[in-house]
Amino acid sequence: MIKLSEISTKPPKGADKDDIKKATKEMTKEIAELVETMFAEKKHSLLVVVQGMDSSGKDGSTQNVFKYCSPSMVSAKAFGKPSDEEFAHDFLWRVHKHAPEKGKVQIFIRSHYEDILIQRVHKWIDEDRVDARMDAINAWERLLEADNNTTVLKFYLHLSYERQGEKLQERIDDPEKNWKHNPGDWEERKLWDEYRRCYEDCINRSAIPWIITPVDSRSYRNYFIAKKVLETLRSFNMKKPTLQDAE
């Protein structure tokens, strides 16, 4: 049983920022090489889900980890409030069409889990609907793995309450970040404890494990995610097809 309150949001003691940045750069370059191999081989696909509280670094982390990858091989989809058309379908309808095809990486900035997080926190759905949706999510993720050889990596960006406050304030104080400011984020911050409870519950009920990612330090956050992605891509044991393979 995972208890988020028992997991640090900070990097390990003694972690050197310069060493971390150097290692991250090396890993992200290898990630790009392996993504190209995956694209050429077309046997595997990778779905990377990033979820977390407001200002936990969902965009920044994925930009850094996949910065050297070709945009023809990596796509990102940010899930916000459903449109009227999306509301008229089942909650997974808008998600399934963005599942990655073989050979590609798909990033979800927020995801299908929004429908058992924000909707649950605000009591827009009842607990029976939460249970049904959790079962559907587990079945859908298993389907991707079993039917399309898709590996699902789910990162929970584990941010402290204090650090979130600092980052939200930066959006007010720094003119370069003013565009990120949303007064609604401060209102959602008042529901911190309820969001944490709902996150913890869905993490513990997931068939495919979540990777709890400490994100109070941007550099360590990027390093941590890059390391997990690289380990996963290496595990595919891929090779680029040759003309001899086609004979």
pLDDT tens digits, one per residue of 164-194: 999 999 999 999 999 999 988 999 999 999 9
Residue 199 Cα distances to 98, 156, 203, 210, angstroms: 23, 9, 6, 11
pLDDT tier for residue 247 given thresholds of 50, 70 and 90: low
Q: What is the average pLDDT across 195-201?
A: 96
What is the SS3 assignment for 214? strand
pLDDT in tens, 35-72: 999 999 999 999 999 999 999 999 999 999 999 999 99
Radius of gyration of the chain (CA): 19
Q: How far apart are CA 245 and CA 207, in angstroms?
A: 37
Instruction: Tell me the pLDDT of the chain averaged across its residues.
Output: 95
pLDDT at 244: 76
Neighbouring residues of 8: CB distance < 8 A, sequence distance ≥ 6: 214
pLDDT in tens, 84-126: 999 999 999 999 999 999 999 999 999 999 999 999 999 999 9
| Annotation: CATH topology of 4-235 | Rossmann fold (3.40.50)
pLDDT in tens, 125-141: 999 999 999 999 999 99
Question: What is the value of pTM for the model shown?
Answer: 0.95
pLDDT at 60: 94
pLDDT at 243: 82
Q: How far apart are CA 175 and CA 129, in angstroms?
A: 42
Nearest to 65 by CA among 224, 222, 228: 222
What token pair was written down for 70?
């070709």
CB 39 within 8 A of CB 239: no
Cα angle 120, 125, 129 (rounded to 5 degrees) comes to 100
Residues 137, 207, 35, 62: is their CA dihedral positive or negative?
positive
DSSP state of 63: H
Q: How far apart are CA 44 and CA 178, in angstroms?
A: 40
